[in-house]
């Protein structure tokens, strides 16, 4: 990841954003769930904290989502040149199918584990403490590329056959025949490499 940031960002620290009571309440719901999922861990009181990032609560259709404000860190991050499949190519594959299922990856980029060396750069500052990410947080530059690379590594055969498509954190299974479609869908629910 971006290991050279310590030289460029040494001492960078942001205070937690002033949160509305509604956002504070949302954070108090989100934060306790994430350690149980292995996404974050609270940084100890004795541990030196050089870098923290504030957290934003994004609202959509009445639902909250916790997003780290990594704008400053992202400016120092070397862009990942991993290409993301062009939407036109994915749409062409989908247009040839008769049966289609779309699935949204649970917690999106949290599927990617962050290296121990990168974790100190991915600390967040909220009113209830400082936490460190163990999994790729929302708002991080290159998260999409990392997720695409992981899916390419897990499903190379299916992707080359053209019936499994990934777009950002959407998973699409498509087929021209019902029996084939049922087999493909059930094998993906069991996991990669299963028949």
Residue 31, token pair as written in the block: 């934060």
List domains and CATH numbers for the chain: 12-190 (3.10.10.10)
H helices of the chain, where? 5-9, 21-36, 71-76, 87-95, 143-154, 156-161, 178-190
Tens-binned pLDDT, residue by residue, of the chain (195 aa): 322 333 344 444 444 445 688 888 888 898 999 999 899 999 988 887 777 787 878 888 888 888 888 888 889 888 888 877 788 878 888 888 889 888 887 677 787 888 888 888 888 888 888 999 998 888 888 888 888 888 889 999 998 888 898 888 888 998 888 888 888 766 555 455 444
Spatial CA neighbour of 17 closest among 169, 102, 117, 124: 124
**What CA–CA distance (Å, rounded) separates 31 from 39?**
10
């Amino acid at each position: 990841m971006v290991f050279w940031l310590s030289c460029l960002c040494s001492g960078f620290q942001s205070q937690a954003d002033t949160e509305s009571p509604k956002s504070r309440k949302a954070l108090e719901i989100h934060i306790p769930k994430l350690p149980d999922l292995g996404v974050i861990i609270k940084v100890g009181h004795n541990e030196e904290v050089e870098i923290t990032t504030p957290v934003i609560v994004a609202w959509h259709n009445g639902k909250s989502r916790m997003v780290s404000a990594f704008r400053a860190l992202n400016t120092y991050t070397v862009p990942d040149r991993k290409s993301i499949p062009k939407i036109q190519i994915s749409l062409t594959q989908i247009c040839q199918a008769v049966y289609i299922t779309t699935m949204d990856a649970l917690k999106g980029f949290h599927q990617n584990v962050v290296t121990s060396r990168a974790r100190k750069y991915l600390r967040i500052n909220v009113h209830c403490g400082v936490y460190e990410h163990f999994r790729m947080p929302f708002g991080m530059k290159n998260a999409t590329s990392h997720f695409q690379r992981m899916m390419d590594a897990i499903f190379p055969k299916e992707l080359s056959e053209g019936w499994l498509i990934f777009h950002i954190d959407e998973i699409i299974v498509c087929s021209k025949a019902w029996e084939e479609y049922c087999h493909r869908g059930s094998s993906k629910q069991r996991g990669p490499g299963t028949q």
